[in-house]
Structure 1
Amino acid sequence: MTSDRPARLNRDDVLRAALELLNEVGIDALSTRKLAERLGVQSPTLYWHFKSKAALLDAMSAAVMQESRAIATPGPDEAWQDWLMEDGRSFRHALLAYRDGARLHAGTRPGEAQRGSIELRLQRLCAAGFEPGPATLLMMSVGRFVVGWVLEEQSAQAVDAPPSSTLDGPDASQYPLLAAGWLANVRGDADAVFDRALRLLIDGARP
């Protein structure tokens, strides 16, 4: 029995081309038509691998996480605060690795491939004294914090960023506290500011 499925184009080829196209045109301009043109095929060919654009975007998000995010099991003697900080940093770097990475990931849920790693993290949090509910909520809070943080970063860097994203800081003579905070955080080193903000969230969590 013969199959009409294209022999040369596999799922990884489609994902790789889609991520390259994402970096070039952004998530709003990404379309299955443009992707098919890049691959030299007709649009219906892509449906052998992905039934819709939404399914393609979902798979692209998972591929970004697998490719760019360091997935490490916490060591038995490692403080949960430390590995959760590192996990948040790794997540941010993965989202920043691609144009519109935060928008691509927003709203997705972990698939089967990610659930084993999540279960190990929850085991470590529960061993530290958390119940499953609060442990899961803590990991969700860190994840959503990172997505929101990177969404702000990438939106401010976009070509069509709001004009207010480039405004100067407040007048120190009129708003001394706000000016000091602005200088330390809005105009500070991006990685260091992120670390301080994430640390505030994690330090507030207690079993």
Structure 2
Amino acid sequence: MNREAVIAEALGLLDEVGLDGVSTRRLAKRLNVEQPSLYWYFRTKKDLLAAMAEAAMEPHATAPLPTPGDDWYDWFADNTRSFRRTLLMRRDGARLHAGSTPTGDLERIRRKMDFLVAAGVLERDAQMAMLAAGRFTVGSVLEEQADTGPGDSADLPVDMPVIDHESAFEAGLALILNGLVHRTEM
């Protein structure tokens, strides 16, 4: 057993039982070890959850960084969609990610920010747009992962349109991007 194996098994447990069902007791049983042996790798459950969140974000964290010739609008949209797809890969992926600190991703975030600034976006606007898009995406995925199915819209007024999660996400993303375009044209 090693740290990576514990994280992989914890993510498997997450996918099976959801975030509320993840416990060190359950994880130890799944690994056929005594619960205290997990403390060799993670001092607290919070440490375990942080490692799980980092591992779950690996597909997005290894996505190609922007290059100088890229269109910033298209890159920003694709980057945000990649973040959404990655959160959706795991049961309760948004809940797991919410509140985590991107300690290993700071250099990548800096490079993304530098790309936006080099493309003509003011640094403060780039920061706020990245933050807004990230929080919007986590919130969107939280709603999507909490959706229990078609019965959810039964209580809505008949004249209120039902919008699927992907369409709602794309509409919100467009509003963020168009606001950023407007700011860069000022």
Is the TM value for this pair above 0.5?
yes
Q: How far apart are 1:193 and its partner, in Å?
A: 3.4
Q: Which residue of 1 aligns with 2:77?
A: 85
List aligned pairs for 1:2-81, cutoff 5 A.
9-67=1-59, 71-81=63-73
Q: How far apart are 1:139 and its partner, in Å?
A: 0.7
TM-score normalized by structure 1?
0.81
Q: Secondary structure at the match of 1:28?
A: helix
| 1:47-82 superposed Cα distances (whole Å, 9 cap, x missing partner) | 111111111111111101114555221122222111
Structure 1: tracts of 5 or more residues without a match: 1-8, 173-178
TM-score normalized by structure 2?
0.89
In the aligned structure 2, how far is the partner of 1:157 from the partner of 1:98?
16
Q: Which residue of 2 aligns with 1:156?
A: 147
Q: Which has the larger radius of gyration?
A: 1
> Which residue among 170, 175, 183 is the counterpart of 1:195?
170
In the aligned structure 1, how far is the partner of 2:9 from the partner of 2:46?
16
Percent identity, aligned pairs only, is 42
Are the equivalent residues in 1 in contact too, given 2:113–2:126 (CA < 8 A)? yes
Q: How far apart are 1:24 and its partner, in Å?
A: 0.9
Structure in which a larger fraction of residues adopt helix:
2
Q: Which residue of 1 aligns with 2:134?
A: 143
In the aligned structure 2, how far is the partner of 1:147 from the partner of 1:51?
27
Q: How far apart are 1:87 and its partner, in Å?
A: 0.8
2:121 counterpart letter in structure 1: F
In the aligned structure 1, how far is the partner of 2:38 from the partner of 2:114?
39
Query: Aligned residues, how many?
Result: 182
Q: Secondary structure at the match of 2:20?
A: coil
Q: Give RMSD over aligned pairs.
A: 2.0
